[in-house]
Amino acid sequence: MTEATPVITIDGPSGSGKGTVSARVAKTLGWHVLDSGALYRLAAYAARKSGIDFKNQPQLSEIARNLRVRFEQGRIFLEDEDVSLSIRTEQAGNDASRVAAMPEVRAALLDWQREAAVAPGLIADGRDMGTTVFPRAPLKVFLTASAEERAKRRYKQLKEKGIKSKISDLAVEIRERDERDRSRAASPLVPAGDAMVIDSTAFSIEQVVDQILQAAQERGLAKP
């Protein structure tokens, strides 16, 4: 990352709409996108596939440090395996939350994430982008929504993929992940002190995107 490379961080809990919002803001600005959550999902998926104990932090950090990943036309490949769908399951998400709580794993992925900040700019989607990875970003957003609303959104996503689930079960899992992410010692899920906090419960994706683009214009990161 250089001072000349603008970064907009979009942090928030699972199901807050970070991924969709980040993609649309990036498309409008013509910038790159960093889906940091995918990295933790990839590390967790690789660890489970290798049979590594999720309590073995040194081995997990080694897996994270040596990930062989390719992002091609919206698909994600771990070595030669297309894992685009495999890392988006509920188990993968919960595994990622466990792995992300480990300081050694987070340290192993930190440089990889920072190297994603290249011209013309980067939209960094995650949970600690504004607090730890890009603390000097000129615009930091913290996107949230009620657990109930996030469960409904997740249910809709899974239904569209043909995956059966229950909103009540998803709400419980979301609250558990929130607690795990907020209480971890390494880079807990909290808004940066200078973050723009948006509660998207009652907003559409378009309304949230418009708010962020307006803030970007006010900071000179985007043209009116």
Domain CATH code at residue 54: 3.40.50.300
Phi and psi at residue 222, in whole multiples of 5°? -145, 150
Give a yes or no: residue 149 inside a domain: yes
68 part of a folded domain: yes
- Judge if pTM exceeds 0.85: yes
- Per-residue pLDDT tens, the chain, 224 aa: give them: 445 799 999 999 988 999 999 999 999 999 999 999 999 999 999 999 999 999 999 999 999 999 999 888 778 999 999 999 999 888 898 899 899 889 999 999 998 899 999 999 999 999 999 999 999 999 999 999 999 999 999 899 888 888 889 999 999 999 998 998 888 888 889 999 999 999 999 999 999 999 999 999 999 998 87
Residue 58 located in a structural domain: yes
Q: Is 121 left (phi over 0), alpha (psi -120 to 50) or beta?
A: left
The reply to whether 223 falls in a domain is: no
- Report how many domains make up the chain: 1
Residue 171 lies in a domain: yes
Q: Is residue 93 part of a domain?
A: yes
- pLDDT number for residue 58: 94
Residue at 200 is within a domain: yes
The boundaries of the domain holding residue 198 are 7-217
**Exposed/middle/buried for residue 59 (C-beta within 10 Å: 0-12, 13-18, 19+):** middle
pLDDT the model gives residue 3: 53
1 domain residue, yes or no? no
